Amino acid sequence: MGGGDEVAEMRKRARELGEEAKKAVEEGGSSYADAEALIEELKSSRRIDS
């Protein structure tokens, strides 16, 4: 039937995506870097407005 194989593959993929998500939010990860850039941009904007 193959249902068990599909489930195992989905679990494997979910685990891989979870690992990628953890790396993204760690220091140096893509989401971390994007958040830092946003914070710096907001700080700069605030200095200009003051």
- Return d(Cα 18, Cα 27) in angstroms, integer: 16
Q: What is the DSSP letter of 50?
A: -
What residue spans of the chain are helical by DSSP H? Answer: 3-25, 30-49
Predicted pLDDT of residue 45: 86
The 10 Å CB-count burial string (b at 16+, else e) for 6-16 is eeeeeeeeeee
Please indicate, yes or no, whether the overall pTM of this predicted structure exceeds 0.85. no
Q: Where does the pLDDT of residue 39 fall: very low under 50, low under 70, confident under 90, or very high at 90 and above?
A: very high
- Does the pLDDT of residue 49 top 60, yes or no? yes
Q: Contact at 8 Å (CB) between 34 and 42?
A: no
Range of the domain at 14: 3-49
How confident is the model at residue 20, as a pLDDT? 95
What's the structural domain count of the chain?
1
